[in-house]
Amino acid sequence: MSYKPDMAKTEKFEKSKLKKTEMQEKNLLPLKEMIEQEKQAGKSCLTV
C-alpha cells in the first residue's frame, strides 16, 4: 500500500494571487569587538 496525496488543490492553485514580499537579510551573529567588550565587562565584575 502506498500513500498518494490528493493533487487536486495544488493543480488549481493560482501563483499570481500570492503577495510580493521583500527579503531582508539579518546578521544575528555578534561582532568580534562586541564579544571582547562583554568579556572585559565580565572580568571587571569578577574583580569587584
pLDDT of residue 47: 60
What is the CA angle 39-31-28, rounded to 5? Answer: 115
Assigned C-alpha cell, 9: 488543490
**Cα–Cα distance for residue pair 34/42, rounded to 1 Å:** 12
Side chain identity, residue 6: D
The model's pLDDT over 1-48, given as tens digits with 9 standing for 90+, comes to 578 888 888 888 888 888 988 988 887 888 889 889 888 887 777 665
Side chain identity, residue 9: K
**Cα–Cα distance for residue pair 8/2, rounded to 1 Å:** 18
pTM for this entry: 0.35
